[in-house]
Homo-oligomer: A and B are copies of this chain.
Amino acid sequence: MALAVHLSSSPLLTSKADEKYANVKWDELGFALVPTDYMYVAKCKQGESFSKGEIVPYGDFLISPCAGILNYGQGLFEGLKAYRTEDGRITLFRPDQNAIRMQTGADRTCMTPPSLDQFVEAVMQTVLANNKWVPPPGKGALYIRPLLIGTGAVLGVASAPEYTFLIYTSPVGNYHKASSGLNLIVDHKHRRAHSGGTGGVKSCTNYSPVVKSLIEAKSSGFSDVLFLDAATGKNIEEVSTCNIFILKGNIVSTPPTSGTILPGITRKSISELARDIGYQVQERDVSVDELLEAEEVFCTGTAMVVKAVETVTFHDKKIKYKTGEKALSTKLHLILTNIQMGVVEDKKGWMVVVE
């Protein structure tokens, strides 16, 4: 695999050539940016295909003040992780699914996406170039952030004349510091997405609008915000950065991907794993009333994998749910992370070895 710059030759690099690992305090990793050595960049003019990308030193890049992403929010992102297994391999979890989701998003936001093969190949190149930054087994993962953004200059509202596909990485630990479970608050004022909008794709436009809710919630001691549907305000939709499931009896329920929630790859995988161990999984509208009566609630996402919800606050009610060793969320978390970390055999064909 040809890399466009000679690895370790740049003055910008932050790791040394002869190290197995970069100089990171692996036990202190959270979910903040730790810049790594390289990033991937490819460009595409409107109506054409993406050029062969290049691995270049990670760092600030030049952009037009008139770029579509800066003025009109024309941007998509993805998130996936590379893991280092005990036997020394570096693996990815279902990168093809991220590639496909970027294609769906590109159609909605009028950009040309990279092909599935180019996406996966680019992710692999980026991980390989930054392999020293993949944490030791059990210490976290290398978070991979592909962006597809309108970088061409466009003054009137329209699709930009040029798109950039860029991938950068950061070693990460846990997304949330809370160990026992999330404390969510239901937002009664803000909505995340509406039917006919972009809530069903990973557009940047879905995220800055939730920051205000998130800040308010955190300042009141909550971990995150649970949004209700914009149409009726009666059904649960999504937490600011993850999908949500409820458990009652043998039935696991989660809101359907009908355009207003993100079709999470962890969501889809957890649904499959829950079915494998005998649960009935329903993708359907889930009302607040059902949420309040659930036995267990949990969230899924690339960053957090599976995380139990300890409490949900709805108006003046605070409901407590089952968490801990015997909770389904704990079981599902273990099953999935065992696959991801290579502890058990991957019978699903989900893991891809980076080589």
Measured between beta carbons, the chain B residues less than 8 angstroms from A39 are: 65
Q: Taking the nearest CB of chain B, how far is it from the CB of A23, in angstroms?
A: 19
Residues facing B in A103-129 (CB within 8 A) are: 108-110
Residues facing B in A165-185 (CB within 8 A) are: 166, 168, 170, 172, 175
Q: A154-B33, A190-B196 are in contact. Are A205 and B65 (CB under 8 A)?
A: no
Choose the segment among A6-14, A73-81, A84-92, A244-252 that binds chain B (4+ C-beta atoms closer than 8 Å). A73-81
Query: A147 and B71: CB pair below 8 A?
Result: yes
A198 within 8 A of B: yes
Please tell me the number of chain A residues within 8 Å of chain B, measured between CB atoms: 67
Choose the segment among A56-64, A267-275, A341-349 that binds chain B (4+ C-beta atoms closer than 8 Å). A56-64
Query: B71 and A108: CB pair below 8 A?
Result: no
A215 within 8 A of B: yes
Measured between beta carbons, the chain B residues less than 8 angstroms from A108 are: 209, 212
Query: B32 and A68: CB pair below 8 A?
Result: no
Whole-angstrom CA separation of A190 from B205 in the bound complex: 15
Query: B73 and A205: CB pair below 8 A?
Result: yes
Query: B63 and A63: CB pair below 8 A?
Result: yes
Most buried by B among A31, A69, A172: A69
Q: Taking the nearest CB of chain B, how far is it from the CB of A221, in angstroms?
A: 16
Choose the segment among A155-163, A288-296, A311-319 that binds chain B (4+ C-beta atoms closer than 8 Å). A155-163
A150 within 8 A of B: yes
A222 within 8 A of B: no
Measured between beta carbons, the chain B residues less than 8 angstroms from A153 are: 33
A253 within 8 A of B: no
A44 within 8 A of B: no
Query: B58 and A60: CB pair below 8 A?
Result: no
Q: Which of B109, B156, B196, B208 contacts A72 (CB 8 A)?
A: B208
Q: Taking the nearest CB of chain B, how far is it from the CB of A7, in angstroms?
A: 19
Whole-angstrom CA separation of A63 from B194 in the bound complex: 31
A223 within 8 A of B: no
Whole-angstrom CA separation of A310 from B10 in the bound complex: 60
Q: Which of B145, B172, B191 contacts A71 (CB 8 A)?
A: B145
Query: A60 and B60: CB pair below 8 A?
Result: no
Q: Which of B66, B208, B212 contacts A205 (CB 8 A)?
A: B208
A211 within 8 A of B: yes
Query: A72 and B197: CB pair below 8 A?
Result: no
Q: Taking the nearest CB of chain B, how far is it from the CB of A161, in angstroms?
A: 10
Query: A175 and B203: CB pair below 8 A?
Result: no
A339 within 8 A of B: no
Q: Taking the nearest CB of chain B, how far is it from the CB of A286, in angstroms?
A: 19
Query: B73 and A109: CB pair below 8 A?
Result: no
Q: A155-B143, A170-B155 are in contact. Are A211 and B66 (CB under 8 A)?
A: no
A210 within 8 A of B: yes
A241 within 8 A of B: yes
Query: B241 and A208: CB pair below 8 A?
Result: no
Residues facing B in A31-72 (CB within 8 A) are: 31-33, 39, 58, 60-66, 68-72
